[in-house]
Chain A
């Protein structure tokens, strides 16, 4: 299929349609509302389900219900809305039903603003809800990746019966770029829904989907099963991209929008004579700790750049484990760090180590 000009948010919705999404439940919130708007037009014309819910609390529980029924389902929101969904996400994680969630992150805390931000890294990666679980978290840096990772999110969510979250920001969600859509997959017919789904107990024992396990040992067994699955995901699904790392002696680590900015930083730093490489995590969970640890043996220092007060840098430090200095540069409130301010930070690191 040829490249077309796509706005990020509309592209995310269309990619989900191509991936065979059967239902979307959501609530308007800037800067992701175009996702919902695209679905509101396209899903009814395709005979699929679109519903604008009364809140994000309701949308995630509608998603939970549709996922329990075995349908391919998703929702989309932005930071404050994701906070409201955390209750539902925790129930979904324990119930082990596949769900795709998009977070087009905005500046916080509180109502914050609608500018691009990565302030929800901790929320997505460390604590998407109460209790012990991690969603798979994918971070695109451009519209094409947003399309590709939405499709991947459905495949991973269903493979592992888990939550797959795609996190971006308004810069990616509202930017237009040439991108290629995948071909339309057929929608799975209701009679082919998974055998664990709530489809009516016809000629079989009833299926029960719950996140309630009374008794400490009983719930611990469930947790051990969830942890074993997370371990399997961590072993098989780590993804990242590297730029000019072969001969690098300084390493940038950045994801999403600012990961893309750092690709420019690498080029300019090389012109200035610094041997800089970039590792851009694609999965924020599972985190590419192993590869960062390898590179930490090769480089003199690491600079992590984020659009927050320093969240992913904690995972970078855990991966580096003191092998070399790890420094941080970040902007908050919706400010995107630019090459002109990142380069001096690299120069400082260059002199320091």
Chain B
């Protein structure tokens, strides 16, 4: 990336967060992973913890997340990021550890690992990107695919009689005693993006304060595998996903609330 001199009469108002590399991502045009990456990077910059943060990438579309975050990173086996994060955090308790996981990774193959990490109250933060489909393998049914939603492995729409119901992970994890802060947000419009950033910041602050496990589920889109334009995908998600997956906190302990309110 070329650097330019800022003229004296101008000020720099927008730049790459230090926690992001300037590498171009491999994500499809219209994908919301880039937005979520940036929100995490901004939060890590604001908290001043980049040099002591270790991230764990999942298997899925964001498998190469370590190219885009400017910090130490590991690449986990499919679904195992919370176990890897547990191993890192337990031997490095003064470091900030987060996992970045999609819906197949967290809510299907890695269900045991996320539930138990949350239940142990591991001092890690999970960013859970829910776009209701397997993106990287080309649009198969995910554990979070909506009833009736057509995918390449539910060609006539998800039939809950045979394929079961979509998993509400924020609700499931919210009831666990080890979870201190669990919330569901959406990056489908600017106000939602702003709220998501606040949630991500509170999740990392929960970890830094040693209050317990924290997770932000982020409703997201996959316009490519939904076979829609980016704007249409955002509208579809607002209409269909938000009604099925209600936004808001499913867990906030009193300590986290005090942290949020600056007490």
Contact = CB atoms under 8 A, between A and B. Distances in A.
Interface of A: 22-23, 25, 49, 51, 53-55, 57-59, 61-71, 73, 87-88, 91, 190, 198-203, 206-212
B113 A61 contact: yes
**Which of A57, A70, A198, A201 has the largest number of chain B CB atoms within 10 A?**
A198
Contacts of A67: 87
Contact of A65 (B53, B87, B115): B87
Nearest to B63: A212
A91 B113 CA distance: 17
A73 B91 contact: yes
Contact of B77 (A66, A87, A190): A87
B236 interface: no
B241 interface: no
A198 B74 contact: yes
B86 A206 contact: no
Interface residues of B, number: 35
A202 B53 CA distance: 9
A63 B52 CA distance: 20
Given A22-B91, A54-B112, A91-B77, A68 B84 contact: yes
Is chain B's interface secondary structure helix, strand, loop, or mixed overall? helix
Is chain A's interface secondary structure helix, strand, loop, or mixed overall? mixed
Contacts of A55: 112
Interface of B: 50-54, 56-57, 63-64, 66, 69-77, 80, 83-92, 95, 112-113, 115-116
A170 B205 CA distance: 47
Given A64-B84, A68-B74, A51 B52 contact: no
B94 to A, nearest CB: 8
A206 B71 contact: yes
B114 to A, nearest CB: 10
A88 B74 CA distance: 13
A60 to B, nearest CB: 8
A68 B80 contact: no
Contacts of B76: 61, 64, 91
Given A54-B116, A58-B86, 9 more contacts: A57-B113, A61-B77, A65-B56, A65-B88, A65-B89, A69-B87, A88-B77, A190-B92, A199-B54
